[in-house]
Structure 1
Amino acid sequence: MVVAEVPKLASAAEYFFKMGVEGKRFRPTVLLLMATALNVRVPEPLHDGVEDALATELRTRQQCIAEITEMIHVASLLHDDVLDDADTRRGIGSLNFVMGNKLAVLAGDFLLSRACVALASLKNTEVVTLLATVVEHLVTGETMQMTTSSDQRCSMDYYMQKTYYKTASLISNSCKAIALLAGQTAEVAILAFDYGKNLGLAYQLIDDVLDFTGTSASLGKGSLSDIRHGIITAPILFAMEEFPQLRTVVEQGFEDSSNVDIALEYLGKSRGIQKTRELAVKHANLAAAAIDSLPENNDEDVTKSRRALLDLTHRVITRNK
């Protein structure tokens, strides 16, 4: 889908889709598993007949949703890196660092435009609305992060709303789109949405933890990227509940590295990391409950896919990178 007439733009747009830097492909994996979990089988080997033709067409349309989702996700990363003046992404030079801010912004815009073209080809108004809302949420979440008041910055409710917009909206609405294309009921579509929402929130909460801990068990060995950028995440918010005096440090900001050290000291004395993990587990369990609530189906492929979706809820909260 990422095809551009201008070679430089094509190279920029394909930057994070190339072998070796393409990321975990977490979202497309979830969406394709969800498609099969909702009784959309891959018709192999193909047989002549209307049923197989319809199944093939549906699978193709659902794969299109997975591709659209990844393009929107990568576009948001490109734009975020420009806003954050980042110089690395996924262990390599960020696109804005390698090719400059202007081309990085244009590459992100191009991916969004290609996603829109692909979305329009599905000719499903409800699905188009869902994915268009996702783009709105991404912009809203980023703006919320950039323009917080002191009270909002220290509010867990505000943080979780922002996290939904920036991280979980994409996967939740894409899961719902998969269900709608399959002709599932409104109830099943809501369960698919709930799975994606809670999986996305759990994923981000563990990211919050890993920013402080990394792959090491000792506190402070992570990248500390968020706090150094002045972004207050769940572990610090939970620590602040135990040690209200930490709020003064947060309000002063973290341009002064000594404030980072003070915040880490409070975090180390608190249950902030543990409570963030517990909240992630809560959302992972809610995601698993959504899969368990799907209508019974004895098809072997459906069973395997649902089991894989359940396994993902465990993997998300036990990962160390």
Structure 2
Amino acid sequence: MTSVTSLFAPVDDDLRLLTDNLKELVGARHPILGAAAEHLFGAGGKRLRPAIVLLASRATMVEQDLTSYHRRLAEITEMIHTASLVHDDVVDESETRRNVETVNSLFGNRIAVLAGDFLFAQSSWYLANLDNLAVVKLLSEVIRDFAEGEIRQGLSQFDVDLSITDYLEKSYYKTASLMANSVKAAGVLSGVSPEVCDHLYGYGRNLGLAFQIVDDILDFTATSEVLGKPAGSDLKSGNLTAPVLYALEEKPELKDLIENEFTGEGELESAIALIKETKGIDRTRELASYHSQLAVEYLDKAVKDSPSSQALRDLADYILRRLY
């Protein structure tokens, strides 16, 4: 199976430069932040979000090279994403992410919270220095959406009355908003029409939703080693995702286990077994496929054929192939 990083060939050099710049931007002023930056921006991450920004930038600037503003936008996107992960790990008390120790487990919660705050503040500073109000508004909305998503998730733990619409809205806030708004911002910096910018937004929104939906399926179908965290961890924490919500329609007995918050012995394992007996995972696959296809439809309206636009198209397909 094609690796996601091989899809980024058109922007390989851009991504190498981005990683070096991120370490410099974050870690230059303090040893602890330097250590955190080295840990966060080392070789482990896939750089999915900045890669999408760079690919969209090149796809809308086919006849020209990228500007320094496009490159800085990609860096800001990764800083915002990483800041959200650092805070998520504190909230979730996670010790590992992608099989690597989290910042909170290495440096403690206090430093992790401050490191996340610093990354958000630093990204806001560099965002302001782009001197483009439309882009500032788009990326500022992402930071607000992250907080909205976390609050919604916290308030809806173990809520069996959650709807698929609620789930998709929360998924947008937590994952798709960054992809949607940063890809649109790339179009703004490229000077494309408002209509093309809206199509780029549609691509990022639906790609982000497909990505999150697939992640939620993998929480039930992948091993802990593949996930980089314990399998079933979302369900255990009361985060009810699409496979669970669909399964509840077929297995009402799931409701009691969830509302009991899996406090009884073997209840979590029983709930996972019930979910796997239903069509919940298959229906969720169909939902992911729908949003992946919609992403490609928006992309085809936005950009002409080029190596970068083909990589963006292949990425929508790759997201689905993670399931098999």
Same fold flag (TM > 0.5):
yes
Question: Which entry has the higher C-alpha Rg, 1 or 2?
Answer: 1
- The answer to whether the 8 Å contact 2:54/2:74 transfers is yes
2:315 corresponds in structure 1 to 312
Please give the secondary structure, in 2, of the residue aligned with 1:256.
coil
Alpha-carbon distance, 1:222 to partner = 7.0
Alpha-carbon distance, 1:64 to partner = 0.9
Determine what percentage of the aligned residue pairs are the same residue: 43
Equivalent-residue separation in structure 1 for 2:276 and 2:160 (angstroms): 24
Equivalent-residue separation in structure 1 for 2:251 and 2:161 (angstroms): 16
Residues 72-109 of structure 1 deviation map (CA, whole Å, 9 limit, x = unaligned): 00000000101111111121111101110011111111
| Structure 1: runs of 5+ lacking an equivalent | 44-55
| Structure 2: runs of 5+ lacking an equivalent | 1-24
2:57 corresponds in structure 1 to 35
2:6 equivalent to 1:6: no
1:239 corresponds in structure 2 to 247
Structure 1 letter corresponding to 2:176:
A
Structure 1 letter corresponding to 2:109:
N
Residues 209-237 of structure 1 deviation map (CA, whole Å, 9 limit, x = unaligned): 11111159xxxx97111112121111111
- The answer to whether the 8 Å contact 1:153/1:159 transfers is no
Alpha-carbon distance, 1:9 to partner = 2.3
Equivalent-residue separation in structure 2 for 1:257 and 1:290 (angstroms): 48
Structure 1 letter corresponding to 2:58:
T
Please give the secondary structure, in 2, of the residue aligned with 1:307.
helix
Change (3 A) 1:3 1:284: same
- The answer to whether the 8 Å contact 1:168/1:197 transfers is yes
Alpha-carbon distance, 1:149 to partner = 7.2
Q: How large is the RMSD of aligned CA atoms in angstroms?
A: 2.0
Please give the secondary structure, in 2, of the residue aligned with 1:2.
helix
**Partner residue of 1:25 out of 24, 27, 47:** 47
- The answer to whether the 8 Å contact 2:157/2:240 transfers is no
Structure 1 letter corresponding to 2:140:
A
2:278 equivalent to 1:270: yes
Alpha-carbon distance, 1:246 to partner = 2.0
> TM (normalized to structure 2)?
0.86
Structure 1 letter corresponding to 2:50:
P
Equivalent-residue separation in structure 2 for 1:15 and 1:153 (angstroms): 39
Of the structure 1 ranges 125-134 and 223-232, higher mean CA displacement relative to structure 2 is found in 223-232
Structure 2 letter corresponding to 1:160:
L
Structure 2 letter corresponding to 1:312:
L
Equivalent-residue separation in structure 2 for 1:260 and 1:306 (angstroms): 43
- The answer to whether the 8 Å contact 1:140/1:165 transfers is yes
Residues 231-263 of structure 1 deviation map (CA, whole Å, 9 limit, x = unaligned): 111111111122233222222212335221221
Structure 2 letter corresponding to 1:35:
S
Equivalent-residue separation in structure 2 for 1:150 and 1:84 (angstroms): 15
Structure 2 letter corresponding to 1:259:
E
Of the structure 1 ranges 106-115 and 132-141, higher mean CA displacement relative to structure 2 is found in 106-115
Structure 2 letter corresponding to 1:29:
A
**Partner residue of 1:85 out of 79, 82, 93:** 93
Structure 2 letter corresponding to 1:6:
H
